[in-house]
């Protein structure tokens, strides 16, 4: 889930509702399920992916895992880069050029796992960002809609 500024009001309300329920969820030991919004974790968790989130302490996280955390009134899911000695978590969205500001231990909502991947639609700007950061370009086989997707990608890049 990305930052709230670019999300429609219904997604912002959903994130606010999740945060309002967080205290009750934190007391549970089992998972809760959330649908991924945003393109910051493409291609590992494209928009529409179903995530299972198990509440955990920040110190229980390991590099490479996905973590859901709150940032003000926003819920974000990114990859753990490292956990600092003081408990802060350093994260980075797979399709982003820069890592996040450190996440305080009390803002960690839990460890996220992709249960069902959403459609692998190519978010052109995110692919370009990931390519610049990692030095490689993700290539995938496309079906009958290849021409349509290519046209959409070209239009998106022109923006």
Identify the residue whose tokens are 């030095």. Answer: 135
Q: What is the pLDDT along the chain (159 residues), one digit of tens a residue?
A: 444 456 677 777 776 776 677 666 666 667 888 899 888 998 899 989 999 999 999 999 999 999 999 898 788 999 999 999 999 999 999 999 899 999 999 999 999 999 999 887 655 555 555 545 544 444 444 444 555 555 565 566 555
pLDDT value of residue 135: 45
pLDDT value of residue 154: 58
Rounded to whole angstroms, how far apart are CA atoms 136 and 152? Answer: 21
Identify the residue whose tokens are 């692998």. Answer: 120
Max CA separation in the chain (angstroms): 51
Q: Contact, 35 vs 48, CB < 8 A? A: yes
Task: Report residue 66: phi and psi, to 5°.
Answer: -90, 140
Q: Which residues of 13-41 are buried (b: 16+ CB within 10 A; e: fewer)?
A: ebbeebbeebeebeeeeebbebebbbbbb
Residues 6+ apart with CB under 8 A from 82: 63, 89, 90
pTM, rounded to two decimals: 0.65
Dihedral sign from CA coordinates of 126, 127, 133, 138 = positive
pLDDT value of residue 34: 87
Residues 6+ apart with CB under 8 A from 61: 67, 80, 83, 89, 108, 111
Nearest to 96 by CA among 76, 71, 82: 76
């Amino acid at each position: 889930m990305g930052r709230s500024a670019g999300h429609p009001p219904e997604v912002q309300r959903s994130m606010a509702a999740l945060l309002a329920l967080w205290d009750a969820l934190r007391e549970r030991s089992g998972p809760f399920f959330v649908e991924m919004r945003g393109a910051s974790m493409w291609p590992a968790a494209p928009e529409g992916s179903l995530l299972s989130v198990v509440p955990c302490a920040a110190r229980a996280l390991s590099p490479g895992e996905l973590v859901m955390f709150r940032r003000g009134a926003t819920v974000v899911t990114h990859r753990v880069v490292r956990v600092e000695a003081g408990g802060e978590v350093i994260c980075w969205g797979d399709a982003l050029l820069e890592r996040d500001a450190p996440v305080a231990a009390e803002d960690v909502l839990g460890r996220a796992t992709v249960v069902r991947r959403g459609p692998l639609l190519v978010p052109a700007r995110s692919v370009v960002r990931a390519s610049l950061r990692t030095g490689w370009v993700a290539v995938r086989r496309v079906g009958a809609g290849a021409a349509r997707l290519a046209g959409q990608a070209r239009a998106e890049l022109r923006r």
